[in-house]
Amino acid sequence: MTKFMVTHTLPPKGFSRDQFCQISAATQQDPNVKCHESFANLTEGKVFCYWEGPRQEALIAWFKKMNVPYDSITKLEHIAEGAVVKDV
């Protein structure tokens, strides 16, 4: 599966922690795409997510279906965990 980094801009303080939890749970239900990690500052309305999917269009379809706004979807080539860099 291809790996992606997705950025989202939400209304500042427009989502509660509970809403964020609900959306996070929903990202695990789709058979085609999965969100592995999300990093959020709901006060500022910024969320960064690490996804896997067969192609970018599958993520776009999921965001549209779930009515989740996104700013960008970037296909990842490398992931660094500490000082260890892996090709993806």
In what helix (H) or strand (E) does residue 21 lie, and over which residues does it extend?
helix 17-26
Angle at 43 between CA 70 and CA 37, to 5 degrees: 50
- The residues, ordered by sequence, that sit 6+ positions from 18 with a Cβ below 8 Å of its Cβ are none
pLDDT number for residue 36: 96
pLDDT number for residue 22: 93
21-47: b (≥16 Cβ within 10 Å) or e? eebeeebeebeebebeebebebeebeb
Tens-binned pLDDT, residue by residue, of the chain (88 aa): 999 999 999 999 988 999 999 999 999 999 999 999 999 999 999 999 999 999 999 999 999 999 999 999 999 999 999 999 999 9
pLDDT number for residue 77: 97
pLDDT number for residue 69: 92
